[in-house]
Amino acid sequence: MTRPANLRLTAAAFSLLTQPTIVAGYPTTDTARPPETIPVLRYDPPPNFYRSAIAPPDDYSSTEFNASLQIYPFRPAGGNVEEMFRNTMLREWIDPRYQEAIVASQPDFRIVSVAGAQVVHTARFVENVAGIARQRMRWVIIAGGAAAIIDASASDLMTWQRALPALNVFAGSLRVETAPERPAVTAGPGPAGRLIAGLYMARTLKDAVDLTRSVGYNMTRVPALHFYLFSEDGRVYRAYDELPVPGGDPRQFDFDAAERADPVNSGRYAVRGRQLVIEFQGQPPETIVAAVPRGGRLKIGTTGYQRQ
C-alpha cells in the first residue's frame, strides 16, 4: 500500500476542509521504550493571543474573540500513540478545564508535517456545548519515544474562521528540537541560592468564571498578581493574588506545609550555568527553564517578575 503524503503546514493545517488523508498503512510508532533525550516543542506564540502565567499547558487566549490554544509539553508515551489517538483523541491527556464533553460528529483525522517530528496526527471535531457547535482541533506530535499535544478551539465556526490566520502563523513556526536530559534539582542551587532567594511578583492575567455567561462560555481572564517565592536552599512556591508570606521573607514560609496542601505549585530549583531550572510536582512534573535572575528581575516565558 502506498504511504500517504504528509500535508504541509499551510492554511489547510488548521482548517482541514479539503484533501482527505488516508492513514491506513502508515507505519505505526511503538513508544513503549522511554526516550533517551527529551524532545522540546518550539513555536512562536500566535499573534494577538495572550499567555496564562500558569503552566502546563502553555495556555493562550485571543484578545479579539473567543478562541484559545493549549500546548502540552512532550511526555514519555507507552504503547501505540496513533491507535490511542484514534480511539480517544487522548482526551485523558487534556487538562480537565478543556476536556471535551460531547463530540457532535465523527472526528476528521489527518497527518501533517512538523519539522523534527517523527509523525503528527490531527483530529478536527465539533464539541456540543449547550447546543452550540464549538470548533476543536487537536494534534499529537510524536518524536523520540515521546508525544506532545496541541489543542485549539473556538466558540463557533465563524470565530474559528477568524482565528485561523493567527493559528496558521503559530503552526508554521512549529519545530521539534532535542534537548539534553533535564538536570536534577535535588542538589539545590548551591551558593547562588543566597542571590536568588526572595519573593518575585508580576502583574498578569488568570482564569476566572464569569457567572453572567452560559456554561461552556463562562471562562474569562482577569488581572491578577502572580508570585514566585524562592528559598536559599532550593525550595520554590508560586501563587496568585496574595503574598504567600508576610513581608515576602521566604524564611518565614512553611514550604513543607505548602507542599502537602498544594503540590502542583510547590517544587525545587537549581542553577546550571546561566539557567534557572524549576521543577514543580504535578503529574506529570512541570519543568521551567529560565535565565538566572539579574538585578532582581526574573523572566518566565513572556512574563517579567520583580523581586520585592
Which of 179, 209, 236 terminates a domain? The answer is: 179
pLDDT category of residue 213 using cuts at 50, 70 and 90: low
Q: Which three cell numbers stand for residue 95?
A: 487538562
Residue 81, classed as helix, strand or coil, is helix
* Alpha carbon separation from 22 to 2, 106, 238 (Å, rounded): 10, 15, 46
For residues 153 and 203, state if they share a domain.
no
Counting Cα atoms < 13 Å in the Cβ hemisphere of 94 gives 22
Spatial neighbors of 69 by CB under 8 A, at least 6 apart, are 46, 49, 59, 60, 61, 150, 151, 152, 153, 167, 170
Does residue 286 fall inside a structural domain?
yes
Q: Which three cell numbers stand for residue 261?
A: 496542601
Does residue 1 fall inside a structural domain?
no
Q: Which three cell numbers stand for residue 218?
A: 463562562
List helix spans (H) across the chain: 12-15, 81-88, 157-173, 193-196, 255-261
If you average pLDDT over residues 21-37, what whole number do you get?
A: 39
Please give the model's pTM, rounded to 2 decimal places. Answer: 0.60
Which of 114, 149, 179 terminates a domain? The answer is: 179
Q: Say how far apart CA 80 and CA 74 lie, in whole Å.
A: 15
Q: Is the pLDDT of residue 12 over 60?
A: no
Domain count, the chain: 2
pLDDT category of residue 107 using cuts at 50, 70 and 90: very high
If you average pLDDT over residues 227-233, what whole number do you get?
A: 95
CATH number at residue 273: 2.40.128.290
Q: Which three cell numbers stand for residue 223?
A: 488581572
| Number of residues that this document lists for the chain | 308
* Alpha carbon separation from 308 to 196, 230, 254, 295 (Å, rounded): 12, 12, 19, 12
**140-191 pLDDT tens trace:** 999 988 999 999 999 999 999 999 999 999 999 999 987 655 556 777 788 8
Does residue 184 fall inside a structural domain?
no
Q: Say how far apart CA 128 and CA 134 lie, in whole Å.
A: 6
For residues 215 and 175, state if they share a domain.
no
Q: Which three cell numbers stand for residue 155?
A: 466558540
**54-90 pLDDT tens trace:** 767 889 999 999 999 999 989 888 789 999 999 999 9
